[in-house]
Amino acid sequence: MKRLAVFASGSGTNFQAIVDAAKRGDLPAEIALLVCDRPEAKVIERAARENVPTFVFSPKDYPSKAAFEGEILRELKERRIDWIALAGYMRLIGPTLLSAYEGKIVNIHPSLLPAFPGKDAIGQAYRAGVRETGVTVHYVDEGMDTGPVIAQRAVPVVPGEPIEALEERIHQVEHELYPVVLRMLLTEKEQQEERIENDGSETSIDQRVQ
């Protein structure tokens, strides 16, 4: 079973959705670590309740991104982490982690990328007056929400609705979509590795989720 680390900075609702999916058996992974860059974040309390080990740090205590990512990497290697799922982690991932986990870091973003990247994506879409926004799961690269898209799901914007209603519907989709995509990635990668090991062949992975 693959070992998954979740990176989060806030309340941790997507972290909880991932943990719950693993507990139900819907996600074939062990949630082996929470990494959090805000010692006051509520997600830490969630991790404690779920008995998930945590690595909590304050970036200001380090001289550089490379320094704190180096410590994160040591934690990941010590706990034999296979994949990283960003779930409201409000920092760009740097070269230290990108090189060590190439192709195995994914993120969820509350818009239909490339539209409305960065912070407050729901607010951006709401103020823009679009008829449709949504949720994107994508691979992580060095940019701000610029990695290759894995899956998207649209969410209509109801005319005149308060932004809180839109936020709630988007979060619901996030909590449904992210575990499904993670399951797909973990199981398909595992099957691909088995095929390569058994007969030396490699076939493409269908990365679309309907």
Q: Locate tokens 């704190």: which residue?
A: 68
Q: Does the annotation place 127 within a ligand binding site?
A: no
Catalytic residues: 109
Residues 6+ apart with CB under 8 A from 104: 82, 83, 84
To the nearest 10 degrees (0 to 180), the angle between helices 163-199 and 121-128 is: 130
Alpha carbons within 13 angstroms on the beta-carbon side of residue 76 total: 25
Query: Per the annotation, does 93 bind a ligand?
Result: yes
Q: Which residues of 129-161 are buried (b: 16+ CB within 10 A; e: fewer)?
A: eeeebbbbbbbbbeeebebebbbbbebebeeee
For residue 138, list its beta bridge partners.
107, 149
Q: Is 51 annotated as a binding residue?
A: no
54 is known to lie in a ligand binding site: no
Please indicate if the annotation marks 12 as binding a ligand. yes
Q: Is 79 annotated as a binding residue?
A: no
134 marked as part of a ligand binding site: no
DSSP 118-152: SS-HHHHHHHHT-SEEEEEEEE--SSSS-SPEEEE
Q: Any binding-site annotation on 198?
A: no
Instruction: Tell me: is residue 14 an annotated ligand-binding position.
Output: yes
Q: Which residues are annotated as a binding site for (6R)-10-formyltetrahydrofolate?
A: 65, 90-93, 107
Q: Which residues are annotated as a binding site?
A: 12-14, 65, 90-93, 107
